[in-house]
Amino acid sequence: NAGVMQNPRHLVRRRGQEARLRCSPMKGHSHVYWYRQLPEEGLKFMVYLQKENIIDESGMPKERFSAEFPKEGPSILRIQQVVRGDSAAYFCASSTSRDVSGWGEYFGPGTRLTVT
Amino acid sequence: AQKVTQAQTEISVVEKEDVTLDCVYETRDTTYYLFWYKQPPSGELVFLIRRNSFDEQNEISGRYSWNFQKSTSSFNFTITASQVVDSAVYFCALSGVSYNTDKLIFGTGTRLQVFP
């Protein structure tokens, strides 16, 4: 499967636990984006990363949320001490740099987080 | 500021009808990209089209066509001879070309229901 991969697809956590969401970009893509979709709403940008660097985290809540994209391995979105309001679908997208022909953001299938 | 407006929250049509989904955007960038994505009931996001701001040619792909008009800041999407499988939420999105971010700004989506 050459597409963006996310796991797990579904994640259930109790209030106060930690949630770790993983994203493996498409082959050849070095840019990763995380978006959140609350129930019945559109997608909201959270964070944009390149390998080992956070480029734009303007959409990420200041507390409890963090993201990384290490040199090796998938990008991780980490939510500490989850609350019910964190229940949402979290989508990862990846892309090449803009100067590459066919540039665009390609989305993974999403991780649906439910906080009980 | 960048903004995408999809004024139509929900549209219902009967199979074989043509339907147009509206998208109006705001941006100060002179160079930008516009996208349409489809989100079927299964929840994944399917990339449909990317258009850059310098290319105002309309595009047709099978039953899908897009009308980009810079003068009215609109990027409308038409489905000809709609089918039940077209039932989904459709999102329009904008990405400006700025120094440090390629993030997408999404509209709130239009839910299309096609009845047999």
pLDDT digits (tens, 9 = 90+) for A8-39: 999 999 999 999 999 999 988 889 999 999 88
Does the pLDDT at position A80 exceed 90? yes
Nearest CA in chain B to A112: B43
Task: Determine the pLDDT at residue B91.
Answer: 96
Domain count, chain B: 1
- Residue B27's region, left for phi above 0, alpha for psi from -120 to 50, else beta, is beta
Half-sphere exposure (Cβ direction) of A47: Cα atoms closer than 13 Å = 19
Write out the residue range of the structural domain in which residue B49 sits. Answer: 3-115
CA A74 from centre of chain: 10
- Give the domain CATH number at B111: 2.60.40.10
Q: Identify the residue among A50, A107, A114 best suited for mutation to test binding to B, counting B beta carbons within 10 A and taking the highest.
A: A107
Mean pLDDT value across residues A32-56: 91
User: In this model, does residue B108 exceed pLDDT 90?
Assistant: yes
Interchain proximity A110–B104, CB inside 8 Å: no
The encoded tokens of residue A88 equal 């949402």
DSSP A13-82: E-TT--EEEEEEPPTT--EEEEEEE-TTS-EEEEEEEETTEEEE-TTS-SSSEEEE--SSS-EEEEE-S-
